[in-house]
Amino acid sequence: MELKTNAVSDPICPLCERPIPQDAHQSLHHLIPKLKGGKGGPVVLLHQICHKEIHATLTEAELARDYSSVEALRAHPRMAKFIRWVQKRPPAFHSKTTGPRRRRKP
């Protein structure tokens, strides 16, 4: 996995394009969910808040079928709105994921 870095070597979140400081909440996102065949597949390092928003917005099936790239995630209307909002926050910003969460099917 290749990570973009800034002058102080903090990786850049490919979703919001903000640096990810070492002390920030962060996690790896499987571009294709593990349960949908993505085990061992490509992953990207994201801010935890960005990762949580992905999973609050999209189902595993939607991620596997239509949103298996950073570009596709960034193009989703709710994700685009979230990105515009979070880009105004400091790099280590973290809060609870807000708004209506997607419903899981029984």
Q: What is the pLDDT along the chain (106 residues), one digit of tens a residue?
A: 445 544 458 999 999 999 999 999 999 999 999 999 889 999 999 999 999 999 999 999 999 999 999 999 999 999 999 999 999 999 999 887 655 555 555 4
Q: Specify the pTM.
A: 0.81
Q: Which amino acid is at 38?
A: G
